[in-house]
Amino acid sequence: MDRAVTAKEDLASRRRYAALQGQSFDGDDLTSVCLPQLWFTRCSFHRADLRHATLDGCHFKLCDLRGANLRGASLRGVSLAGCDLTGADLREADLTGARFGQVRTGNPPHGLSNTTGIKLDRAILRDLELDQVIGWPITR
């Protein structure tokens, strides 16, 4: 009998730059997954477990990452445009060169990334780019 392929195995087996649209990974166990620079559009990772995942160079557009656990994840060079990260856990994550931005979908706040209530303790924020992000917790 063939066993079912898990979401983690499916994502990790995708070719580099593969595009995924409208898929749900809500609550999925994606711990330590290593993704080959995938492009996600309108995908949902609500409360997904992405601890210690390698998401370097991935693109997320209009994605739902509310409450996602990204603790210790590598998000180097990731692009998050118009995504909702409300309450996401990014403690100890590496956000070097990451971009949090917007998608021009109409009048703000539509199309803006939302980072309200995210956790960033001990996260690496080197060369981080922000473009009209709602709720960014860092004030300089």
Tell whether the model's pLDDT for residue 140 goes beyond 60: no
Say what the pLDDT of residue 128 is: 95
In the predicted model, is pLDDT for residue 112 greater than 60? Answer: yes
Q: Tell me which residue of 61, 130, 62 sits closest to 95, measured CA to CA.
A: 130
Confidence of residue 137 (pLDDT cuts 50, 70, 90): low
Mean pLDDT score, 117-133: 94
Note the pTM of the prediction, 2 decimals: 0.92
